[in-house]
Structure 1
Amino acid sequence: MDPFEILFSLIICLLLSSVKSTSSDSPFLTKERLAEIPMKFLNMAQRPEVFDWMVNIRRTLHEIPELGFEEFETSKLVRTELDKMGIPYKHPVAITGVVGYIGTGKPPFVAIRADMDALAMQENVEWEHKSKIPGKMHACGHDAHVAMLLGAARMLQEYRNDLQGTVILVFQPAEEGGGGARKMLDTGILENVDAIFGLHVSSKYPIGTVAARPGPILAANGFFDAVIKGKGGHAALPQTSIDPILAASNIIISLQHLISREADPLDSQVVTVGKFQGGAAFNVIPDSVAIGGTFRAFSKDSFRQLKQRIEEVIIRQAAVHRCNATVDFEADYRPFYPVTVNSNRLHDHFQTVAENMLGSKSIIELQPMMGAEDFAFFAEAIPGYFYFVGMHNDSKGQSVPGHSPYFKVNENVLQYGAALHAALAVTHLLGGPATLSVQKESLHDEL
């Protein structure tokens, strides 16, 4: 063979080898390629075999909504999909919960979480996959959350041999008032876990954006029930009765004074009475009335003080009207939720991952809200980070917020949630925000 032909052949072989080593099939879960990981996962989540599969899961779950600690069919679907992917898991955890494991099975550990429960609400949206269970509806997007976490699991499992640690998949029951996170935490599922990430879809923010911030983002939330007892009688003879309805009405007004006249205007607090039950006839003063509601605050001290004053106001105002009152707060099935606080360290990590995936203009600074989220139990035990994934689309008309019978999910959001779950977990295992910052700086220098 001519020497030039030999040299030409060698050059071709080297070029082919170079192309092969940098192909899309080569491992990308490395520190050297860290900044590429978020976009790589988004591209994977957009593939029809992944995206369409997530859509199908979400629609299947939407048809079979289940309330807190009753997510048996939902849990069964999750376990079926994990089995198909060859992902080991624990079940049951906190009655219906499922915890999956991808990677080495050894430290470091990072967790990503989805809630599974629906709401006691009749769906008023007419579409092919409307709820088949009367009086129950996925009106807060938890069906989408489960689909996203399964989507992340599918992508992570594809690269399980490249993971430098273990990703824990937390499929949690009973977020809507049942405190499922606390029950899962009590089982020890997060022992030795370095961080946990959670998300929520939001119709407030545009599709393709995320909203987050460090520190307190959602309020502590508690519940109260009270029974005000008087003396029943005829409406025409109020002097012979002790009217619990009048007493309860004054109690409700006085409870609002706790916010307007006792709370610091710069310290956000809310008291809402959402239940008032008593009486069965127009002309009868009942023996008793039941009221109930929630109270919220952004600090433990404010929350504790508000709880104390609610009890004092109810009992003493009842006494002013010659009634007796009892007040019940926390129950095992309805625990207090602490303030949801995002780790400052994980915020830096989230910002870098989200920017690499979506661009800096797609990251919105979240304003603290008085809503509550039981992810707070996780974030109270270990460093946690909770964020919102936008799904509003102007071309599809006005979006309806969660907890509405007209709530709808823009299914395009599934790709973003799944990709963020996977990217946040993997990059955290590879070194977290410090490594990401170094990688980002080095890439900037190269440009």
Structure 2
Amino acid sequence: MALSNFLLLSLTFQLLLLLRVSSESSWIAGDVSQIQKNLLESAKSPDVFDWMVRIRRKIHENPELGYEEFETSKLIRSELDLLGIKYRYPVAITGIIGYIGTGEPPFVALRADMDALPIQEAVEWEHKSKIPGKMHACGHDGHVAMLLGAAKILQEHRHDLQGTVVLIFQPAEEGLSGAKKMREEGALKNVEAIFGIHLSPRTPFGKAASRAGSFMAGAGVFEAVITGKGGHAAIPQHTIDPVFAASSIVISLQQLVSRETDPLDSKVVTVSKVNGGNAFNVIPDSITIGGTLRAFTGFTQLQQRIKEIITKQAAVHRCNASVNLTPKGREPMPPTVNNMDLYKQFKKVVRDLLGQEAFVEAAPEMGSEDFSYFAETIPGHFSLLGMQDETNAYASSHSPLYRIKEDVLPYGAAIHATMAVQYLKEKASKGSVSGSHDEL
């Protein structure tokens, strides 16, 4: 009888343990819509939302340019430490790579950029930039806050994750190829897919925009020095005028798009800088021009034609020209191309999470994003998260009047977390995890 009672108690204990494990893991194993609802509710909770707002404002007050994000990086690492999230640092000077989950495949990455811009903030508010001439005018402070918000939610359920979520906090997105440098230093090791979100003042609040295939153009810059022979403006026949040559070059460059590009293949060539001379009555010895080029296809050919036009037009006007296609080390950036399967997953997640009308089919953009370095290496998906309200008062990116609608932060955190959970869940259900790997 005693033995029978012991066996009964043993079986009861095992059953209770099984029910407890089942209950704890139901967050992942349960209904997908309920999982997403839980994630969004967690992101909107005061402890998570207020925490994200505090982080975002602290970063906004102390903006740092590319590869100089030491205090920003320090803040992120301190928060990861408090959350108990393991990470690797430094990567690409100031970058951080965090890990949540099993440490085993599959690995899926979430990315946020963290650098500011050399712009003097013109928005008057309590948390205005404290650093003269520097400002978070592109929303990267919000991107960091959203990714940390997702990390906080995921870390609370780390034992339920069916793989590993990789957190990529990236420096130097603004023209300094921070993503490329992180990639070169192993940020994508073992990672099978990557997702990125950018705040958008032109997309309605609470909606997310994306498209499959080419989303954002490849981008490059150029700089040229046109050299002639200066002299008095009253006797131009004794000079070789670089101003006239530069004017001809600027006009000729516009014909690259209007006369040499298929109207159905979008390209942009913009001369945005012309410097030279310092007196009204003196023709200078040289003029410096500079600008940008954007294209989805034929990027190298466009670069070559820019160089040819500058040098040959200068020669027509008896001047010499030197052309630099990577001034200050600014390398060309590839187009951002979204993977079709990840696009479909994102579209479904947004509709399930925020409502059927929340997803917006985006048009291709001539703006660029160095997320493209990640997406050309592994399947990637980049999206825009709207924060424009009915006033339409939000300035465009890179404006001194740029500001963030902080109510958008929970949506970004929830989308990040849901995309990671859903990706790992689908990979596990397909049983596609195989092969060797390096444990963390």
Q: Using structure 1 for the length normalisation, give the TM-score.
A: 0.90
CA distance in 2, matches of 1:424, 1:175: 22
Q: 1:223 aligns with which of 221, 224, 230?
A: 221
Residue of structure 2 equivalent to 1:413: 408
Once the 2 structures are TM-superposed, how far is the Cα of residue 37 of structure 1 from its aligned partner? Answer: 2.0
Q: What is the SS of the residue equivalent to 2:248? A: helix
Deviation of residue 321 (structure 1)?
Answer: 0.4
Answer whether contact 2:249 2:310 (CA < 8 A) is retained. yes
Match of 1:404 in 2: 399
Cα distance in 2, alignment partners of residues 177 and 348 from structure 1: 29
Contact 1:96 1:173 in 2 (8 A): yes
* Pairwise CA RMSD: 2.0
Percentage identity across paired residues of the two chains = 59
Asked whether 1:39 is paired with 2:34, we answer: no
Is the Cα–Cα contact under 8 Å of residues 179 and 333 in structure 1 kept in the other structure?
Answer: no
1:326-337 → structure 2 map (5 Å cutoff): 326-330=322-326, 333-337=329-333
1:267-293 CA-to-partner distances (Å, cap 9, x unmatched) read 000000111111111111111111111
Q: Does 1:353 align with 2:343?
A: no
Q: 1:332 to 1:41 in 2, by over 3 A?
A: farther
- 1:70-89 superposed matches below 5 A: 70-89=68-87
Alpha-carbon distance change, 434 to 360 in structure 1, aligned in 2, over 3 angstroms: farther
Q: Distance in 1 between matches of 2:38 and 2:396?
A: 31
Which of 103, 109, 112 is 1:111 aligned to? 109
1:33 positional shift: 2.4
**Are the counterparts in 2 of residues 349 and 433 from structure 1 also a CA contact under 8 Å?**
no
1:319 to 315, 318, 333: 315
* Range with greater deviation from structure 2 (335-344 or 325-334): 325-334
Contact 1:36 1:356 in 2 (8 A): no
Q: Cα–Cα, structure 1 residues 393 and 28, in superposed 2: closer, same or farther, change >3 Å?
A: farther
The answer (yes or no) to whether the contact 2:222–2:327 under 8 Å persists in 1 is no
Unmatched segments (≥5 aa) in structure 1: 1-16, 436-447
8 Å contact 1:98–1:172 — kept in the other structure? yes
> Which of 410, 413, 420 is 1:425 aligned to?
420
For residue 437 of structure 2, what is the aligned residue in structure 1?
none
Q: 2:305 aligns with which of 306, 309, 326?
A: 309
Conservation of the 8 A alpha-carbon contact between 2:162 and 2:428: no
TM-fit CA distance, 1:205 = 1.4
CA distance in 1, matches of 2:293, 2:27: 45
Is the 8 Å Cα contact of residues 234 and 284 (structure 1) preserved in structure 2?
yes
1:91 paired with 2:86, answer no
Q: Offset of 1:333 from its aligned partner? A: 3.4
**Equivalent of residue 159 in structure 2, options 149, 161, 166:** 161
Q: Partners of 2:144 and 2:323 in 1: how far apart?
A: 37
In the TM superposition, 1:24-423 aligns within 5 A as: 26-299=24-297, 302-330=298-326, 333-394=329-390, 396-423=391-418
Q: Provide Cα deviations, 1:5-39, integer angstroms capped at 9, x if missing partner.
A: xxxxxxxxxxxx99xx79x9843443442332222
Output the TM-score relative to the length of structure 2: 0.91
* C-alpha contact 1:345 1:433 (8 A) present in aligned 2: no
After the TM superposition, which parts of structure 1 deviate over 4 Å for at least 4 consecutive aligned residues?
432-435
Matching residue's letter, 1:283: N
Quote the Cα distance in structure 1 between the aligned partners of 2:119 and 2:133.
5
Q: Which amino acid aligns with 1:354?
A: V
Using a 3 Å threshold, how does the CA distance of structure 1 residues 365 and 397 change in structure 2: closer, same or farther? closer
Contact 1:42 1:357 (8 Å CA) reproduced: yes
Contact kept, 8 Å, 1:352 with 1:433, in 2: the verdict is: no
CA displacement at 1:433 relative to structure 2? 11
Name the CA shift for 1:345/1:276 in 2 (closer, same or farther; >3 Å): same
- Structure 2 partner of 1:441: none
Contact 2:91 2:97 (C-alpha < 8 Å) held by counterparts: yes
Instruction: Tell me the distance in 2 between the aligned counterparts of 1:304 and 1:414.
Output: 38
- Contact kept in structure 2, 1:349 and 1:432, CA below 8 Å: no
| Residue identity opposite 1:94 in structure 2 | A
Residue 304 of structure 1 aligns to a residue whose secondary structure is helix
Query: Does the CA contact (< 8 Å) of 1:91 and 1:98 recur in 2?
Result: yes
Whole-Å Cα distance in 2 between the matches of residues 207 and 25 of structure 1?
35
CA distance in 1 between counterparts of 2:412 and 2:26 reads 20
Question: Which stretch of the first structure deviates more once superposed, 260-269 or 26-35?
Answer: 26-35
User: Structure 2 regions of 5+ residues with no counterpart?
Assistant: 1-14, 431-440
Count of residue pairs brought into register by the alignment: 415
